[in-house]
Amino acid sequence: MLIGNCTIGGVKMGAVKRYGDVLIVDDEKNLCETVETYLTEMACFRNILVANDGSQAMRKITNQKFSIILLDLSMPKKEGIDIIRSIADKKDKQKFNSVGKIVIMSGTMNEFQLQEAMHLGVRHFLIKPFDKDKFITKIEQIVKSISVEDL
């Protein structure tokens, strides 16, 4: 699907494809709203969904493929690292979400969590609190690496 005015690197790209769906997973509702606003302003994504706990996130991840998953580690009902393990354990990667497109958003990540996430394949991190510029820069890095299979 073509859209207009997708912004990458501060440049309006004109008519370009949408870069799939994004899932924001965080129990801080204000942060979810802020991140959703940033993503909406980029105008590059087909759908932006929000889950405020780990169980809700797993239901969405099981039923839908996301180009990017923005994930907090400390959440009620199911921890972020457990969600990453679930995604990494799926045998048929084409039907499920990719660990490589997860962005961990956390202000309390310890060394063990960092190493485990990296061992499972996570390569993108945002330390809370982050500002709009840091967020947009990180998302732009990922968008540039999205392939047709990720949509």
Q: Does residue 100 sit within a domain?
A: yes
Domain containing residue 59: CATH number: 3.40.50.2300
Q: Tell me which residue range forms the domain holding 68.
A: 19-150
Q: What pLDDT, on the 0 to 100 scale, is given for residue 3?
A: 42
Identify whether 136 is part of a domain.
Answer: yes
Q: How many domains does the chain have?
A: 1
Can you give the chain as a three-state secondary structure string?
Answer: CEECCCEECCEECCCEECCCEEEEECCCHHHHHHHHHHHHHHCCCCEEEEECCHHHHHHHHHHCCCCEEEECCCCCCCCHHHHHHHHHHCCCHHHCCCHHHEEEEECCCCHHHHHHHHHHCCCEEEECCCCHHHHHHHHHHHHCCCCHHHC
Has residue 29 been placed in a domain?
yes
Residue-wise pLDDT tens for the chain (151 aa)? 334 456 565 555 544 456 789 999 999 999 999 999 999 999 889 899 999 999 999 999 988 889 899 999 998 899 999 999 988 887 555 556 677 789 999 988 889 999 999 999 999 999 999 999 999 999 988 888 765 455 4
Do the domain assignments include residue 5?
no
pLDDT value of position 104: 96
Q: Is residue 38 part of a domain?
A: yes
Q: Give per-residue pLDDT as tens, 84-96.
A: 998 888 755 555 6
pLDDT at residue 10 in the model: 58
Q: Are strands 102-106 and 124-127 parallel, antiparallel or unpaired?
A: parallel
Q: Is residue 1 part of a domain?
A: no
Whether 10 is covered by a domain: the verdict is no
pTM score of the predicted model: 0.86
